Amino acid sequence: ETGVTQTPRHLVMGMTNKKSLKCEQHLGHNAMYWYKQSAKKPLELMFVYSLEERVENNSVPSRFSPECPNSSHLFLHLHTLQPEDSALYLCASSQEQGLDGYTFGSGTRLTVV
Amino acid sequence: AQSVAQPEDQVNVAEGNPLTVKCTYSVSGNPYLFWYVQYPNRGLQFLLKYITGDNLVKGSYGFEAEFNKSQTSFHLKKPSALVSDSALYFCAVSRTGGFKTIFGAGTRLFVKA
Per DSSP bridges, beta strands B24-26 and A31-37 are unpaired
Contact between residue B63 and residue B78 where contact means Cβ atoms under 8 Å apart:
yes
Q: Which residues of A18-47 are buried (b: 16+ CB within 10 A; e: fewer)?
A: ebebbbbbeeebbbbbbbbbeeeebbbbbb
On whether the CB atoms of residues B50 and B57 are closer than 8 A, the answer is yes
Determine the average pLDDT of the residues in B55-72.
Answer: 94
Q: What is the DSSP letter of A42?
A: P
Q: Is the per-residue pLDDT at B112 higher than 70?
A: yes
Determine the residue among A99, A108, A109 to mutate to test chain B binding: the one whose Cβ has the most chain B Cβ atoms within 10 Å: A99
For residue B28, the model assigns a pLDDT of 84
Q: What span, in angstroms and rounded, lies between the C-alpha atoms of B11 and B18?
A: 12
pLDDT tens string for chain A (113 positions)? 669 999 999 999 998 899 999 999 999 999 999 999 998 888 899 999 988 888 877 789 999 999 999 999 999 999 999 999 999 999 999 998 888 889 999 999 999 99
| Type of residue at B63 | F
- Which residue is closest to B47 within chain A, CA to CA? A101
- A99: nearest CA partner in chain B: B32
Report pLDDT for A39: 84
Q: What is the mean pLDDT of residues B41-57?
A: 91
Look at A57-61, A73-77, B78-82, B85-89 and tell me which has the smallest mean pLDDT: A57-61
What is the pLDDT at residue B91?
96
Is A50 near chain B, with CB under 8 Å?
yes
